[in-house]
């Protein structure tokens, strides 16, 4: 019996996207983005160790328009993955599975992500004087 042509149960393309499913795949996507972002983290650490000149070129790269955009996107991904990760840890101990709760914590994660991201950049720029 061939297993190639068996009918499949309804799959991604026929499901209507829901908040819960979107947040779920976003957790993976932000995780992958953060994994790529670790390259920047290591580059930054190496530049500090390598001396003032190396650090200045790292700072110029990160401080460029593209660098700032990447850093901004990375900070959103980091805060999202952090907040939603805590949501996942609660699920892992068996809490918060009820649908209304899952939706409420989902919205809370999105709001917290926006607030934390904006707060970090506003404090970083307005109070501490920028990159």
Binding site for another protein (CB under 8 A): 28, 31-32, 34-35, 38-39, 41-42, 45-46, 48-49, 52, 55-56, 75, 78, 82, 85-86, 88-89, 92, 120, 123-125, 128-131
Q: Which is nearer to another protein, 13 or 99 (CB)?
A: 13
Kindly state the smallest distance separating residue 111's Cβ from another protein, in Å. 17
CA distance 23 to 84: 8
Judged by beta carbon, residue 78 or residue 109, the one nearer another protein is: 78
Query: C-beta of 99: minimal distance to another protein in Å?
Result: 23
Nearer to another protein, 39 or 99 (CB): 39
List Cα–Cα distances, 98 to 10, 28, 60, 80, 90, in angstroms: 23, 22, 48, 21, 12
Nearest alpha carbon to residue 80 among 16, 21, 33: 33
Q: Where are the alpha helices (H) located in 51-98, listed in sequence order?
A: 52-63, 65-92
């Amino acid at each position: 019996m061939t297993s190639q042509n068996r009918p499949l149960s309804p799959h991604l393309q026929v499901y209507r996207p829901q908040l819960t499913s979107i947040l779920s795949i976003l957790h993976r996507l932000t995780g992958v983005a953060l994994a790529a972002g670790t390259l920047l983290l290591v580059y930054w650490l190496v530049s500090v160790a390598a001396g003032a000149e190396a650090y200045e070129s790292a700072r110029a790269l990160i401080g460029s328009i593209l660098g700032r955009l990447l850093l901004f996107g990375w900070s959103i991904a980091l805060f999202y993955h952090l907040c939603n990760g805590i949501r996942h840890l609660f699920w892992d101990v068996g809490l918060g599975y009820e649908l209304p709760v899952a939706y409420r914590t989902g919205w809370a994660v999105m709001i917290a992500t926006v607030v934390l991201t904006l707060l970090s950049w506003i404090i970083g720029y307005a109070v501490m004087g920028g990159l």
